[in-house]
């Protein structure tokens, strides 16, 4: 059975299905027409359940599985307790932070806002500063919060693919040429080590937290 992933729209046209897919890290869309059986996979929360479900028949399949793999051991992924995909507010951190201990600046800001903390690939996969369930991107989690604050993240396509459906994006970076500034609603060119504590204090005063 053909498999299409990253499906964002489906339209039945006569005996065909017109399927729209995300491509190149959400930077392009591809439209394909398919006939017959096809398996479609969509990003989490992309489609809402139909209010008028249709009747459908289910055909059980009994595939023959040949066991050619020997499991030596298993190890679960480390979890940080965050369900980042469901977060309405996200503070995301990147390589702009020089030390693991400095991430407390982002966690303090997130606490004031009532937000979850996410990160780019290097923070979780390379440096291991945060567990992989915080990782947002093409190979990480897909999110669509009301507010996404990116701190010290350059904005590579692999990261953008995981957060492009955010409603409002704020980027804080000391590099005015960071690609993320071309993909945000508000941009702040400042040193995070001076700006984030000041922002947190101001928000704490306003929100009384």
Model pLDDT for residues 20-38, shown as the tens digit of each residue? 988 876 677 889 999 888 8
Confidence of residue 187 (pLDDT cuts 50, 70, 90): very high
Q: What is the mean pLDDT of residues 121-146?
A: 95
Distance CA 121, CA 124 (A): 6
Letter string b/e over residues 50-76, b meaning 16 or more CB atoms within 10 A of that residue's CB: eeeeeeeeeeeeeeeeeeeeeeeeeee
pLDDT at 77: 57
Alpha helix positions (H), the chain: 104-113, 121, 157-160, 192-207
Confidence of residue 63 (pLDDT cuts 50, 70, 90): confident
What is the C-alpha end-to-end distance of the chain, expressed in Å?
54
Confidence of residue 80 (pLDDT cuts 50, 70, 90): low
| CA diameter of the chain | 63
DSSP bridge partners of 4: 40
Sheet of 16-23: strands edge to edge? 7-13, 16-23, 28-34
**pTM given for the model:** 0.68
């Amino acid at each position: 059975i053909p498999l299409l992933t990253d499906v964002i729209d489906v339209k039945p046209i006569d005996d065909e299905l017109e399927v729209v897919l995300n491509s190149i890290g959400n930077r392009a869309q591809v439209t394909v027409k398919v006939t017959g059986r096809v398996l479609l996979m969509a990003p989490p929360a992309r489609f809402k359940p139909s209010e008028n479900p249709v009747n459908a028949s289910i055909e059980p399949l009994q595939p023959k599985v040949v066991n050619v793999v020997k499991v030596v051991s298993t190890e679960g992924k480390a979890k940080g307790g965050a369900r980042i995909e469901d977060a309405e507010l996200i503070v995301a951190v990147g390589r702009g932070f020089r030390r693991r201990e400095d991430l407390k600046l982002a966690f303090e800001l997130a606490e004031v806002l009532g937000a979850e903390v996410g990160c780019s690939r290097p923070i979780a996969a390379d440096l291991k500063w945060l567990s992989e369930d915080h990782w947002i991107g093409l190979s990480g989690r897909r999110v669509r919060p009301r507010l996404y604050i990116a701190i010290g993240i350059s904005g590579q396509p692999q990261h953008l693919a995981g957060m492009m459906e955010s409603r409002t994006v704020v980027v804080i970076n000391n590099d005015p040429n960071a690609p993320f500034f071309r993909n945000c609603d508000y941009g702040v060119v400042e040193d995070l080590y001076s700006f984030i504590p000041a922002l947190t204090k101001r928000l704490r005063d306003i929100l009384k937290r």
